[in-house]
Amino acid sequence: PMGSERMEMRKRQMSTTQENPGAAQAQHSAGNRGSNACCFCWCCCCSCSCLTVRNQDEERTRTSHELQAESIPNCEESPAPTLEEVNAWAQSFDKLMLTPAGRNAFREFLRTEFSEENMLFWMACEELKQESNKSVIEEKARLIYEDYISILSPKEVSLDSRVREVINRNMLEPSQHTFDDAQLQIYTLMHRDSYPRFMNSAIYKDLLRSLSEKSIEA
């Protein structure tokens, strides 16, 4: 009967294993080495698909990191502000935000209030508007979302639910204007909340006094 033959074969296999445990272990080890040989075999790297996949992953990671670094810019390069420019900042928030020197000074103040992410987000949105390459737009939009919109990010900006819904819809097909509503809301928040305190801050007053003294000396 078939059942008897199977039982007899199992007994012979078990007997062989017990008599030669070292051979069975060696065979098992060889099998494991065979399954992982691709990852350790450097002499045949030309035909090793693992290396190809690894290189592609590293390239994608490198590109992502480069874009992420661009999305969090350092202070903008700008000439030192003049006394006339600094006085103009007090006239309106728009005039402050129009100049790199004004944005840098305001950003320095926001850092003291732990709200620098508002300026970083606004600047990232401005940079996104300058892009024309579709793949770059999509990648930068994703990074902006992860850095400033996601509730998991430590740099999340404060947005209402309506604006968040708009962003989520826009992210289905990102464009240069995906975050326009959010950017306007953060601009308004900085204008109403942070700008008045900036005008009364030591950062602004010290800069104004320093430029005034230099003007008098000149």
Return the pLDDT at 215: 86
- Say whether pLDDT at 24 is over 90: no
pLDDT, tens digit (0-9, with 9 covering 90-100), for 55-92? 555 554 444 444 443 444 556 787 899 999 999 999 99
**DSSP-derived 3-state class of residue 160:** coil
59: CB partners within 8 A, 6+ apart: none
Q: How many CB atoms lie within 10 A of CB 1?
A: 6
Please return the burial class of 141, using the count of CB atoms within 10 Å of its CB with bins 0-12, 13-18 and 19+.
Answer: buried
Pick the more confident residue, 126 or 25.
Answer: 126
Among the listed residues 34, 59, 55, 58, the one whose alpha carbon sits nearest the alpha carbon of residue 46: 55
Residue type, 36: N
Instruction: Give, to the nearest 10 degrees, the angle between helix 202-217 and helix 100-112.
Output: 140
- Please check whether residue 213 is in contact with residue 181, taking contact to mean a CB–CB distance below 8 angstroms: no
Return the pLDDT at 43: 42
- Say whether pLDDT at 33 is over 80: no
- Please check whether residue 159 is in contact with residue 185, taking contact to mean a CB–CB distance below 8 angstroms: yes
**DSSP-derived 3-state class of residue 42:** coil
Task: Give the span between the Cα atoms of 200 and 76, in whole angstroms.
Answer: 23
Please state which CATH number belongs to domain 83-217: 1.10.167.10
Backbone angles phi, psi at 203, to 5 degrees: -60, -50
Among the listed residues 125, 172, 180, 169, the one whose alpha carbon sits nearest the alpha carbon of residue 147: 125
- Please check whether residue 211 is in contact with residue 82, taking contact to mean a CB–CB distance below 8 angstroms: yes
Return the pLDDT at 64: 43
HEC string for 74-136: CCCCCCCCCHHHHHHHCCCHHHHHHCHHHHHHHHHHHHHCCCHHHHHHHHHHHHHHCCCCHHH
pLDDT, tens digit (0-9, with 9 covering 90-100), for 96-126? 999 999 999 999 999 999 999 999 999 999 9
- Model confidence at 142, in pLDDT bands (50, 70, 90)? very high
Return the pLDDT at 8: 55
